[in-house]
Structure 1
Amino acid sequence: MPRKEQGWVTFQTSEEERKILEEFCQQSQRTKTEILRELVRGLNKDSSVTTSLPTKQDVKEDTYTTEKKINSQNKPLKVSSRNVLKGVVKRVTIGAVNTEVTLEIVHKVELTSMITRVSAEELELAEGIEAYAVIKSNDIVIARE
């Protein structure tokens, strides 16, 4: 039975288009087939084909949204380090390049770590929020659910 009768659709893409699709698949953790099926299903919802097709900007924005959804799901943090201590941020001292973060693990037991300013901003560290001290060898890194 020919592929056409089995529901196969084959088409050619430019190198740039293939690269965009592959990057989107990797970032969204979905297969090419899943992405293309989603796009085709979206065509049925709109009466105008041209308005339903995503632009490059839409793809970039959708990738960002997908990453946020994946990262914002309440999944437990998985790390290889065995020493993971839950605490509350007591101090955040922001420097030009690095940020000093102090966690109170238990009453009067504090751990301080130097992390990059960018990491502290991405983790949205602020006094009073819960975070984790992840201890590997002689380093302490800060993580957050």
Structure 2
Amino acid sequence: MPRKEQGWITFQTSEEERKILEDFCHDSQRTKTEILRELVRGLHKHQASQASIPTKQVNEEDSEIPVVEISSRKKALKVSSRNILKGVVKKVVTGAVNCEVTLEIVHKVELTSMITKTSAEDLGLAEGEEAYAVIKSNDIVIARE
């Protein structure tokens, strides 16, 4: 079966573009495929958010006033830990102070971490959401984009 029918996409990049992608992959400890998939998935969200943002407003005299769009994009989190594993939240057990968060890294491979209830709320951790297990020494820390 040809690659195209298997879902493969092949495209050319400049030397500079290739270097940017490779550096980003190295810094984020992710593969090119993971990065490109995230970019493609983000297009749908970007398209939906762009549809609801007006580019111009009309004042009382019916004349158009341009709207300045301010980006709220966050920069990627950089951490010293080299073991960063992307997963999906399978379970969040909330206690009075702490939460037990279980991520499925790959099929039937799960990691569980105890984090504060406040951290779980701040990260918006919920079943089915993507998150990262950041492993340093004997601790597993949960992070989210």
TM-score of the superposition, structure 2-length normalised?
0.50
Rg (Cα) greater in structure = 1
TM-score (norm 1): 0.50
Answer 1 or 2: which has greater helix percent. Answer: 1
Higher strand fraction (1 or 2): 2
